[in-house]
A = this chain, B = another copy of it.
Amino acid sequence: MNSLHQAVVGCSKTDLYTPALCLDLDLFDANVQIMVETCQKHGVDWRPHAKCHKSPIIGRWLVDAGAIGLTCATIREAELMAEAEIRDLLIANLIAGPAKIQRLVELASKADPIICLDHQDQADAISQAMATAGVYVRVLIELEIGMNRVGVDDLELVERLAEKVHSLPGLELAGVMAYEGHLLTIEDLQEKEQTIRQALAKAMTARDRLESRGLPCSIVSCGGTGSFPITVKQNGITEIQAGGAIFMDEFYRHSCQIDQLENSLTIMATVVSMPTPDRVVVDTGRKALNIEIYRPRVREPKGLLVESLSAEHGVLRLTEDATPPKIGQPVEIIPGYADLTNVLHPGFLGFRGGKFEREIPIVR
Choose one: B121, B311, B343; the contact of A326 (CB below 8 Å).
B121
- What is the CA–CA distance of A168 and B121 in the complex, to the nearest angstrom? 70
Question: Closest 6 CB pairs between A and B?
Answer: A94-B272, A96-B328, A97-B270, A97-B328, A150-B273, A17-B99
Q: Distance in Å from the Cβ of A143 to the closest Cβ of chain B?
A: 11
Q: Distance in Å from the Cβ of A112 to the closest Cβ of chain B?
A: 22
Interface residues of A in 118-146 (CB under 8 A from B): 118-119, 121-122, 125, 144
Q: Is A271's CB under 8 angstroms from B96's CB?
A: yes
Q: Which of A281, A287, A344 has the most CB of B within 10 A?
A: A287
- Ordered by A's residue number, 13 sampled pairs between the chains whose C-beta atoms are within 8 Å are A6-B103, A51-B311, A93-B272, A94-B283, A95-B272, A96-B272, A97-B272, A98-B328, A118-B275, A121-B328, A122-B273, A150-B272, A153-B275
With a CB–CB cut-off of 8 A, which chain B residues contact A312?
A: 51, 73-74, 93
Q: Distance in Å from the Cβ of A105 to the closest Cβ of chain B?
A: 13
- What is the CA–CA distance of A275 and B146 in the complex, to the nearest angstrom? 12
Q: Which of A51, A279, A340, A345 has the most CB of B within 10 A?
A: A340
Q: Is A327 an interface residue (CB 8 A)?
A: yes
Secondary structure at chain A's binding surface: helix, strand, loop or mixed? Answer: loop
User: Looking across the interface, which residue of chain B has its beta carbon closest to that of A292?
Assistant: B292
With a CB–CB cut-off of 8 A, which chain B residues contact A149?
A: 275, 281, 310, 313, 315
Q: Is B340's CB under 8 angstroms from A287's CB?
A: yes
- What is the CA–CA distance of A153 and B150 in the complex, to the nearest angstrom? 51
Q: Is A70 an interface residue (CB 8 A)?
A: no
Interface residues of A in 308-364 (CB under 8 A from B): 310-313, 315, 326-330, 339-340, 343-346, 364
- What is the CA–CA distance of A228 and B328 in the complex, to the nearest angstrom? 33
User: Looking across the interface, which residue of chain B has its beta carbon closest to that of A285?
Assistant: B73
Interface residues of A in 180-208 (CB under 8 A from B): 181
User: Looking across the interface, which residue of chain B has its beta carbon closest to that of A120?
Assistant: B327
Known: A93-B283, A100-B270, A119-B275. 10 other contacts (CB 8 A): A6-B103, A17-B75, A93-B312, A97-B270, A97-B330, A98-B328, A122-B273, A148-B315, A286-B340, A343-B344
Choose one: B100, B119, B345, B346; the contact of A17 (CB below 8 Å).
B100
Q: How many copies does the complex hold?
A: 2
Q: Distance in Å from the Cβ of A311 to the closest Cβ of chain B?
A: 6
Q: Is A15 an interface residue (CB 8 A)?
A: yes
Q: Is A275's CB under 8 angstroms from B99's CB?
A: no
User: Looking across the interface, which residue of chain B has its beta carbon closest to that of A147?
Assistant: B310
- What is the CA–CA distance of A102 and B279 in the complex, to the nearest angstrom? 26
Q: Is A296 an interface residue (CB 8 A)?
A: no
Q: Is A60 an interface residue (CB 8 A)?
A: no
Choose one: B94, B153, B270, B310; the contact of A273 (CB below 8 Å).
B94
Q: Is A274 an interface residue (CB 8 A)?
A: yes
Q: Distance in Å from the Cβ of A124 to the closest Cβ of chain B?
A: 10
Q: Is B93's CB under 8 angstroms from A327's CB?
A: no
Q: Is B313's CB under 8 angstroms from A150's CB?
A: yes
